[in-house]
């Protein structure tokens, strides 16, 4: 069991960046030598976010063991070296599901099953389980204090704080100090109310992380401290910053990590944050600029491509590039035709077609991929992107005009992308996907092998359909090389186009494994190819 716990709640409004706050604290504590892990508790009733619309919920992050989780887990993994699994994210739906199954099995021996203690015990058990083997476990509660939905989670935290003992747990409340333009003042009242709300549930925050657009002066800190029963030094300013990777540094300047160590009675050396400073330095002053076209469906919410845009950023830092992302709507390409296609893609230095589900925009994505192929623009196709690279190539270069994916045309005469045989209709609809990390063998002497620097890799998947190997030799003969396969050789995982500077498609999602200090080789490769074309 982890010896120490930090519970993170949010007040006043949603979208305060609790996930980034938790991740940044994890980064600082890891830099002090602690082994950390993080847990996200989501108050909604869905069992997991897998079936939720990305526009509503943001990205679905896939863990190594194949759990479909909240996008905050992506931040957790990028900021720390914690290896997260399905234990690290649970929802109200999962908790109730488990408790009701136990009740049906007769595990509660005739007692009345209630929120307290049955639901709260299940929550506590899960937190403790996720914390096994680390020094510090950070637990983030989704939603905003005062929501009906999050009450059982807060109650579980209240109880755990007593169970764990004083020195072993800490409550951090992330709150908003809004700037009132008309009064020319920062306002503390919403924070006072939100802390009162927490107190009424029995939780006294130890540290307040105050999100603000203006600096919080000493006088204001005194006031917040007085009304919220915290010491002045525990009122931490969390100013808006342009880059999330600056947050650990800002928190450190505010001595947040030192306060945490005091309160949790942790003895550790000062953290060495040089690599973070270095990262920010590189981010702020790239040598050259480039434009990357991202052709995806969920254009109205950039959050749905979070891991992807972060992966691009990590590679950009590695290549000393500033990358502007142009979000291109494939439906506009579809309706606008060749002219709109050219307008959008002519000036981009690289193209990415990311993963996706559903028919909308598919033809526009194929047009964009064909354009990148024909105009030798460096291009990375991810999951659906790779599948559509294959469809486009089959139609135009293999003369298979009817080529399609069975996802979009079940009866297609040329199913170059198909459901695996034996995958029954019910499984297709029931949501059984290839999820999580799988091994892949890369053919030596290929661009991919060179970029990875090895031929045995593991990457994370989230899809149902696969490349149809019946077409393998036709593709191969025409320079569309199937360079990465599952160890049994049956599943095509990576493709590369010969005689193109970079036309790479992958059935997996490389973006889930990219980190600021470990940029992913495929994104680095894409930007290297783009850089070669910059004037």
Q: Which residues bind ligand GLN (CB under 6 A)?
A: 355-357, 383-384, 407, 462-465
Active site residue 383: yes
Task: Single out the catalytic residue among 118, 314, 418, 509.
Answer: 509
Closer CB to ligand GLN, residue 316 or residue 369? 369
DSSP per residue, 219-236: HHHHHHHHHHT--GGGEE
The single-letter DSSP state of residue 50 is G
d(CA 262, CA 271): 15
Question: Which residues are CB-neighbours of 285 under 8 A, at least 6 positions away?
Answer: none
| E strands present in 359-449 | 379-382, 403-405, 414-418, 434-442
Active site residue 511: yes
Mapped onto helix, strand or coil, the DSSP state of residue 169 is strand
Active site residue 509: yes
Please calculate the CA angle 386-392-395 and round it to the nearest 5 degrees: 140
The least distance separating ligand GLN from the CB of residue 384, rounded to whole angstroms, comes to 3
DSSP per residue, 306-319: HHHHHHHHHHHHHT
Closer CB to ligand GLN, residue 39 or residue 383? 383
CA distances from 36 to 6, 70, 517 (A): 11, 19, 18
Closer CB to ligand GLN, residue 317 or residue 465? 465
Q: Provide the token pair at 292.
A: 């990357």
The least distance separating ligand GLN from the CB of residue 354, rounded to whole angstroms, comes to 7
The least distance separating ligand GLN from the CB of residue 304, rounded to whole angstroms, comes to 12
Closer CB to ligand GLN, residue 4 or residue 509? 509
Task: Single out the catalytic residue among 77, 197, 254, 511.
Answer: 511
* Residue linked to tokens 């004037």: 535
The least distance separating ligand GLN from the CB of residue 468, rounded to whole angstroms, comes to 12
d(CA 37, CA 82): 5
Q: Are 39 and 139 in contact (CB under 8 A)?
A: yes
Q: Are 418 and 430 in contact (CB under 8 A)?
A: no
The single-letter DSSP state of residue 113 is P
Query: Which residue's Cβ has the minimum distance to ligand GLN?
Result: 355
- Please give the radius of gyration of the chain, using alpha carbons only, rounded to the nearest integer: 25
Closer CB to ligand GLN, residue 153 or residue 508? 508
Task: Single out the catalytic residue among 383, 404, 500, 520.
Answer: 383
Closer CB to ligand GLN, residue 135 or residue 407? 407
The least distance separating ligand GLN from the CB of residue 112, rounded to whole angstroms, comes to 44
The least distance separating ligand GLN from the CB of residue 324, rounded to whole angstroms, comes to 24
Q: Alpha helices of 106-217 — where are they, by DSSP H? A: 120-130, 151-164, 189-201
What amino acid positions are annotated as catalytic residues? 383, 509, 511
């Amino acid at each position: 069991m982890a010896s120490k716990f930090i519970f993170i709640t949010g007040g006043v409004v949603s979208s305060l960046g609790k996930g980034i706050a938790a991740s940044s604290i994890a980064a600082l504590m890891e830099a002090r030598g602690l082994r950390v892990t993080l847990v996200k508790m989501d108050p909604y009733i869905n069992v997991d976010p897998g079936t939720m619309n990305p526009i509503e919920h943001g990205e679905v992050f896939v863990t190594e063991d194949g759990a479909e989780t909240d996008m905050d887990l992506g931040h957790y993994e990028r900021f720390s070296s914690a290896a997260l699994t399905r234990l690290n994210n649970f929802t109200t739906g999962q908790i109730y599901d488990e408790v009701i199954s136990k009740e049906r099995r007769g595990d509660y021996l005739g007692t009345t099953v209630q929120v307290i203690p049955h639901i709260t015990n299940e929550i506590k058990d899960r937190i403790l389980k996720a914390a096994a083997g680390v020094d510090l476990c950070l637990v983030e509660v989704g939603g905003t204090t005062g929501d009906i939905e999050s009450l059982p989670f807060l109650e579980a935290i209240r109880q755990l704080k007593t169970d764990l003992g004083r020195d072993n747990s800490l409550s951090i409340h992330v709150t908003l100090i809004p700037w009132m333009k008309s009064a020319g003042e920062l306002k503390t009242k919403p924070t006072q109310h939100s802390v009162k709300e927490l107190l009424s549930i029995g939780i006294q925050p130890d540290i307040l992380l105050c999100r603000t657009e203006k600096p919080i002066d000493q006088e204001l800190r005194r006031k917040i401290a007085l009304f919220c029963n915290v010491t002045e030094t525990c009122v931490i300013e969390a100013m808006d910053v342009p880059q999330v990777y600056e947050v650990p540094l800002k928190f450190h300047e505010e001595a947040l990590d030192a306060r945490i160590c005091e309160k949790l009675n942790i003895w550790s050396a000062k953290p060495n944050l040089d690599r973070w400073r270095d990262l920010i330095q590189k981010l702020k002053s790239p040598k050259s600029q480039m434009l990357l076209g991202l052709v995806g469906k969920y254009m109205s919410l950039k959050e749905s491509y979070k891991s992807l845009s972060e992966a691009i950023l990590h590679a950009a830092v590695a290549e000393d590039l500033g990358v502007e992302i142009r979000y291109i709507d494939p439906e506009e390409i579809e309706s606008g035709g060749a002219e709109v296609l050219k307008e959008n893609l002519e000036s981009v230095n690289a193209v990415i077609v990311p993963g996706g589900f559903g028919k909308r925009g598919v033809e526009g994505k194929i047009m964009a991929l064909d354009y990148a192929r024909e105009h030798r623009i460096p291009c990375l196709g991810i999951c659906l992107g790779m599948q559509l690279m294959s469809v486009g190539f089959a139609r135009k270069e293999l003369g298979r005009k009817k080529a399609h994916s069975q996802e979009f045309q079940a009866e297609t005469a040329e199913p170059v992308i198909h459901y695996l045989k034996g995958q029954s209709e019910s499984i297709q609809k029931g949501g059984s996907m290839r999820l999580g990390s799988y091994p892949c063998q890369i053919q030596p002497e290929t661009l991919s092998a060179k970029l990875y620097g090895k031929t045995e890799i593991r990457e994370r998947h989230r899809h149902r359909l696969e490349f149809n190997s019946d077409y393998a030799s036709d593709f191969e003969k025409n320079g569309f090389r199937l360079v990465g396969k599952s160890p049994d050789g049956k599943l095509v995982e990576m493709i590369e186009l010969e005689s193109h500077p970079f036309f790479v498609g992958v059935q997996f999602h490389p973006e889930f494994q990219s980190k600021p200090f470990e940029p992913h080789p495929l994104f680095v490769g894409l930007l290297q190819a783009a850089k070669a074309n910059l004037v």
